[in-house]
Amino acid sequence: MGKRWRWGVILDAGSSGTRLHIYRWQDPAKALKDASYQELHSLPSIATKEKWTKKIRPGISTFGDHPEDVGPDHLQELVEQALRVIPDDKHADTPIFLMATAGMRLLPPLQQRAVITETCSYFRANTRFFLPDCDTHIQVIPGETEGLYGWIAANYLLGGFDDPEGHAHGKNHHTYGFLDMGGASAQIAFAPNATVAEQHGDDLKLLRLRSLNGAPKEYKVFTSTWLGFGVNQARHRYVDALVNEFLIDGEHEVPDPCLPRGLRTTEKGEIVKGKSNKLELVGTGQFDECLRRTHPLLGKDVPCDDEPCLLNGQHVPPIDFDVNHFVGVSEYWHTTHGVFADSRDDTAYDFNTYQKKVLEFCSRRWEDIEMNSGTRKKDHGKDAQEACFKASWLISVLHEGIGIPRLGIEHTQTPGFNISKGVGEAAKEKGFLSPFQAADEIDSVEISWTLGKMVLYAAGQVPPKDNYRLPVGFGSNVKGVPSDFQHAGSNYNATSAIDDDDDWADTAEDIIDHAKSNSTSVFFLFILVFLFIAFFLRKRDRRMRLYGKFNHILRRRRRPGSPRKVSLGLSSLTHKLFGRSSYNYERVLEEGDINQFELGETSSDEGDYSDSSSGAPRLGRSSGLATPKLNAGSFDDPKKHAHPGSAMDRSGLVVRTESRERLFPQMLNAGRRSRAASPTRLKSPLMSPLSEN
């Protein structure tokens, strides 16, 4: 029932802040041993928890002028969180990544390199996490790579990779497209149908994953990014166009059809109250006009050098919306399920319904909107005043830019294709038949590009089949390993041994986490009884080792400065289970003066679980935003080193200690002769060498 875990740490360094993500998956050697048929043909199972994420502001791009401060003033809080969560003995095998996106892309190259260098130095000086190469683990990633990671994450969570038949959309297609929009840029990633992929092969990336049985999973994916097409950058361009067209000399007011009627703001979106001579945007609440004025921002008039193009003259292969069903995250989710959502909403995006809500909201006066108590809070008020422009921009990008059909208005089926029969059973049951659907979480797991990166890394740890030795990663769409191939960064050297006691320690920790969130004491009592019985069925030496590891968990969870009631309270029990020597040994270590002891280099099972230098308590699946979550029901069904050495005291004398209880009684008064030369010790059949654990 146990698992041996692998861990991964990745920091998403965005423009507004840096977010820590911690992921965990089963070691391939252990997973292969217990895997079912379905699991053997699936990608490694990645797990996360909400408390394994943490975000701090602002972004690391703000340290461009003083990169030496990025560690202590920014990264330290996130590093401490990771050290608390991940077991000490796992740190050396845990990769750490920091990947920066839009904000860092705007910095000059010299500032980028300075921040990246300081970040890597800080990680190496303050952690033992696996960081062999700064250039691959700490970097500013292109928007196309960000989009590809997002595509992996979405299809991983939806089940498009592991259940092709259940997610068949027709034409032998079973993956989903991915759309992402932030404040500065927007990304698109999708796998074209077979015909388009053949015609536009040079435009595609070849992505190679690996299922648990070692077989490759290959996909040809198109990915692109539009810089300046995030909502904030689009708003700046929109306001500049309004001012250039409507500002009259001597005046300071400019009409803004994308603001609710009566709302007055500055160019930066700050609400203006009272009279002012500064430039003001005055809301007129005309959403139709708002739509008309956002359309030119798409850049549809920019020359297209390589047909076809979508936005800003950038080439994108033809999209077959019969089989390419897109998942939109970030602003696509917030703009459709934020201000305009209510309790009666279905999770699916419906153009007609959405547009009616937007028209009704954006035609209201700002005073009426303010009456809503939710807008009195700063964040909600900001969302309300920006909602109309964001809705207009989203509609323009989706339907006029990318070309996603308006569900219920435009025909989406190819002749002779019955979508109700062409899709797989999972799609028919779950209802994800539309060309677009916004999402934030799937089964309580956030759709984040960081997950895609970690899926790629975990897949690289799986041993390949003999006939399939090509590496995991992505690059140009050519056979073999192209020159620009980006490896997953991992290898498939499995751990040499699997210790079941690790499994029990992990299981115990998970149960403690569950008990904290479960108010049913009867259930918790049942679990404790079950573990107690199973504990006694194990061999005595294993019980001893397991107790040390379980006690380590409790010590990590105890708040700093709190008494050691747990360890001392179990004294009588541990005396009966393990003997007096085990208890006395632990008590000396906990209560004695550490300066009284000088131990040589030894290796023991308990040593593998020593406390971290941080001294912080260890924390115990979802990293989601505080927005309504979307269940999968809305989609398709988706070393140890033995070094006995000699123990030396400070004077260089050999110190030999041994528990009197382990010696044969006759030997207690055997004189002061060297024990090593004792024939009794060497020949007595009742004596055995002390085993090294």
Q: What confidence tens digit (pLDDT) does each residue in 312-344 have?
A: 999 999 999 988 999 999 999 999 988 887 655
Give the model's pLDDT for residue 511. Answer: 52
Residue 432 — very low, low, confident or very high, per pLDDT cuts 50/70/90?
low
Residues sharing a CB contact under 8 Å with residue 536, sequence separation 6 or more, in sequence order: 543
> Do the beta carbons of residue 554 and residue 568 sit within 8 Å?
no
| Same domain as 671, residue 576 | no
Mean pLDDT calculated for residue range 551-573: 45
Give the model's pLDDT for residue 671. Answer: 43
Q: How many other CB atoms are there within 10 angstroms of residue 659's CB atom?
A: 13
* Euclidean distance between CA atoms 669 and 439, whole angstroms: 77
Give the model's pLDDT for residue 425. Answer: 45
| Same domain as 605, residue 662 | no
User: Is the backbone of residue 156 left (phi > 0), alpha (psi -120 to 50) or beta?
Assistant: alpha
- Please indicate, yes or no, if residue 157 is contained in any of the structural domains: no
Q: What residue has token string 């461009």? A: 64
* Euclidean distance between CA atoms 62 and 56, whole angstroms: 13
Residues sharing a CB contact under 8 Å with residue 104, sequence separation 6 or more, in sequence order: 13, 59, 60, 61, 112, 115, 140
Mean pLDDT calculated for residue range 659-678: 41
* Euclidean distance between CA atoms 162 and 397, whole angstroms: 31
Strand stretches in 158-245, DSSP E: 177-181, 185-190, 205-210, 216-227
| Same domain as 4, residue 129 | yes
Residue 531 — very low, low, confident or very high, per pLDDT cuts 50/70/90?
low
Residue 693 — very low, low, confident or very high, per pLDDT cuts 50/70/90?
very low
Cα separations (Å) of 240 from 75, 146, 246, 247? 36, 29, 10, 10
Mean pLDDT is highest, among 291-295, 486-490, 498-502, for 291-295
Mean pLDDT calculated for residue range 402-416: 63
Task: Specify the pairing of strand 177-181 against strand 185-190.
Answer: antiparallel
Mean pLDDT calculated for residue range 273-288: 91
Residue 443 — very low, low, confident or very high, per pLDDT cuts 50/70/90?
confident
Residue 572 — very low, low, confident or very high, per pLDDT cuts 50/70/90?
very low
Q: How many other CB atoms are there within 10 angstroms of residue 67's CB atom?
A: 19
The region of weakest confidence among 286-290, 292-296, 513-517, 632-636 is 632-636
- Please indicate, yes or no, if residue 165 is contained in any of the structural domains: no
- Please indicate, yes or no, if residue 19 is contained in any of the structural domains: yes
Return the axis-axis angle of helices 521-536 and 540-557, rounded to nearest 10°.
Answer: 140
* Euclidean distance between CA atoms 297 and 312, whole angstroms: 9
Q: What confidence tens digit (pLDDT) does each residue in 164-209 have?
A: 877 877 788 889 999 999 888 999 999 999 999 999 999 999 999 9
| Same domain as 672, residue 542 | no
Give the model's pLDDT for residue 2. Answer: 47
Q: Considering only residues 389 and 377, tell me which one the structure prediction assigns the higher pLDDT.
A: 389
- Please indicate, yes or no, if residue 684 is contained in any of the structural domains: yes
Give the model's pLDDT for residue 108. Answer: 94
Mean pLDDT calculated for residue range 205-216: 95
Give the model's pLDDT for residue 633. Answer: 44
Residues belonging to the chain: 693
Q: What confidence tens digit (pLDDT) does each residue in 222-238 have?
A: 999 998 999 999 999 99
* Euclidean distance between CA atoms 593 and 485, whole angstroms: 55
Q: Is the pLDDT of residue 356 over 70?
A: yes
Q: Considering only residues 606 and 213, tell me which one the structure prediction assigns the higher pLDDT.
A: 213
| Same domain as 662, residue 575 | no
Residue 528 — very low, low, confident or very high, per pLDDT cuts 50/70/90?
low
Q: Considering only residues 243 and 165, tell me which one the structure prediction assigns the higher pLDDT.
A: 243
Give the model's pLDDT for residue 60. Answer: 95
Give the model's pLDDT for residue 574. Answer: 45
What domain range is 52 assigned to? 1-141
Number of domains comprising the chain: 3
| Same domain as 535, residue 669 | no
Give the model's pLDDT for residue 372. Answer: 72
Q: Is 146 a catalytic residue?
A: yes
Q: What confidence tens digit (pLDDT) does each residue in 16-74 have?
A: 899 999 999 999 888 888 899 999 999 999 999 999 999 999 999 999 999 999 999 99
Q: How many other CB atoms are there within 10 angstroms of residue 666's CB atom?
A: 10
Say which of 39, 118, 146, 386 is annotated catalytic.
Answer: 146
| Same domain as 662, residue 602 | no
Task: Specify the pairing of strand 280-283 against strand 253-256.
Answer: parallel
- Please indicate, yes or no, if residue 620 is contained in any of the structural domains: no
Q: What confidence tens digit (pLDDT) does each residue in 616-629 have?
A: 333 333 333 333 34
| Same domain as 664, residue 583 | no
* CATH assignment of the domain containing 129: 3.30.420.40
Of 98, 117, 141, which residue is a domain's last? 141
State the distance between the two ends of the chain, measured CA to CA, in whole angstroms.
Answer: 24
Dihedrals φ, ψ of 86, to 5°? Answer: -85, 130
The region of weakest confidence among 136-145, 377-386, 559-568 is 559-568
- Please indicate, yes or no, if residue 515 is contained in any of the structural domains: yes
> Do the beta carbons of residue 457 and residue 491 sit within 8 Å?
no
Q: What confidence tens digit (pLDDT) does each residue in 449-483 have?
A: 999 999 999 999 999 987 788 999 999 999 889 99
Q: What confidence tens digit (pLDDT) does each residue in 632-648 have?
A: 444 444 343 444 443 33
Give the model's pLDDT for residue 638. Answer: 38
Q: Is the pLDDT of residue 83 over 90?
A: yes
Of 96, 115, 141, which residue is a domain's last? 141
Of 94, 125, 141, which residue is a domain's last? 141
Give the model's pLDDT for residue 541. Answer: 59
The region of weakest confidence among 305-309, 341-345, 514-518 is 514-518
Residue 163 — very low, low, confident or very high, per pLDDT cuts 50/70/90?
confident
Give the model's pLDDT for residue 67. Answer: 97
* Euclidean distance between CA atoms 554 and 58, whole angstroms: 35
| Same domain as 666, residue 601 | no
Q: Is the pLDDT of residue 4 over 80?
A: yes
Confirm whether pTM is higher than 0.75.
no
* Euclidean distance between CA atoms 284 and 261, whole angstroms: 4
List alpha helices for 492-645, DSSP H: 500-517, 521-536, 540-557, 565-569, 571-578, 580-591
- Please indicate, yes or no, if residue 393 is contained in any of the structural domains: no
* Euclidean distance between CA atoms 219 and 208, whole angstroms: 7
| Same domain as 121, residue 44 | yes
- Please indicate, yes or no, if residue 106 is contained in any of the structural domains: yes
Give the model's pLDDT for residue 442. Answer: 87
| Same domain as 128, residue 29 | yes
| Same domain as 585, residue 685 | no
Query: Would you give the distance in Å from CA 300 to the centre of its chain?
Result: 35
